[in-house]
Amino acid sequence: MFKDLDNSSIKSSTIFRVNVWLRESNPDAYRPKMVSIGPYHKRHPLLGPMEKYKLLYLRRFLKRKGGLDMESCINQLEKLKEKAIKRYDDIEDVDTDEFCKMLLLDGCFVVEFIRERCGIYQGGIIININPGYILQDLLLLENQLPFFVLKHLHRITKQDDELPLTILANNSFTFLVDLPKMTVASFRKTECNAVYIKHLLHLVHIFSCHVNDPMTSNSSSSPTGGNSPTGSGPTSSGPTSSGPTGSRPYQYAALLVAAALPVAAALPAVATLPAVALP
């Protein structure tokens, strides 16, 4: 029991599996239906068809910047892999090479899908289905990548006039979650430091708490500069801009699970992916 006393992964984990007693109430609410992100659901056979689409998003990602290729991206992610592995609460015997490839493939998919939702793409939309099916999966607690990985991938391909990933991501989820669109100015008013954002669900939860905080909802400090919409999101009792970490990780995980609950049943039965052929 005490052998893990000095294990730094205990206090650095931010991406958890859903507690058994929560999962038993509705197992399907916590399992991705379309796309696996991260290691927890990577081998699920029903999510296999999306892997070909991920390659198309990876191809579009690499085309954004001259001289960028898979090898150079993986070399950069090698420097982040140990930190990223520690963010997961329940993975053992990690193949670090495969883990880096997963960070690249899944991370590029997430970044490019967010860009696609914000109209920052060329060559048309890759997946011609209701985007809500993908967005729903991207808000599952067990289906996350560390946000610093997404930020890094976005930064190395970011155009000079492109908004920060925090704002693009928030604006992508307004389709599914009751949040106003953000600008650089309104993002600054949230006093949210991107360094403290753990993953996409945490980001949406932080912004939702800010919008629904009674101290800000009727003031100019709200993201819209006026009254915030009434939604089903969490209240200000959740994490602040820094987010709870370290000493109370499971309370933090429970808060994020609660944040995702309204999303779990937001869409009808999952659509079938159209076939895709890679040249």
Q: Please, is 66 exposed, middle or buried when counting C-beta atoms within 10 Å of its C-beta (0-12, 13-18, 19+)?
A: exposed
Chunk the chain into consecutive blocks of 10 residues (it has 279) and report each block's average pLDDT, rounded to whole numbers: 58 86 87 96 92 96 92 97 94 93 98 94 85 93 97 96 92 79 65 76 84 53 34 34 39 49 48 57
Decide if 2 is inside a domain: no
Question: Could you give the 3-state DSSP secondary structure of residue 15?
Answer: strand
DSSP assignment, residue 108?
Answer: H
Decide if 176 is inside a domain: yes
DSSP assignment, residue 3?
Answer: G
pLDDT of residue 236: 32
Taking alpha carbons only, the member of 174, 139, 173 closest to residue 265 is 139
Cβ neighbors of 209 (< 8 A, separation 6 or more) are 233, 234, 235, 236, 237, 238, 239, 240
Decide if 248 is inside a domain: yes
Task: Tell me how far apart the alpha carbons of residues 198 and 149 are, in angstroms, rounded to a whole number.
Answer: 10
Cβ neighbors of 45 (< 8 A, separation 6 or more) are none
pLDDT of residue 269: 53
Cβ neighbors of 163 (< 8 A, separation 6 or more) are 118, 184
First to last CA, the chain: 52
pLDDT of residue 27: 84
Token pair in block for residue 62? 């690499």
Q: What is the DSSP string of 24-69?
A: HH-GGGGS-SS---SSTTTT-GGGTTHHHHHHHHHHHHHTTSTT--
**Residue owning tokens 């990548």:** 145
Q: Residue type for 96, please?
A: T
DSSP assignment, residue 229?
Answer: P
Domain count across the chain: 1
pLDDT of residue 276: 60
Decide if 219 is inside a domain: yes
Decide if 3 is inside a domain: no
pLDDT of residue 215: 57
By the 8 A CB rule, do 145 and 35 touch? no
Domain housing 192:
10-264
Decide if 271 is inside a domain: no
Question: Using N-to-C axis directions, what is the helix angle for 147-157 and 200-211, rounded to 10°?
Answer: 100
Decide if 233 is inside a domain: yes
The model's pTM: 0.76
Number of residues that make up the chain = 279
Decide if 1 is inside a domain: no
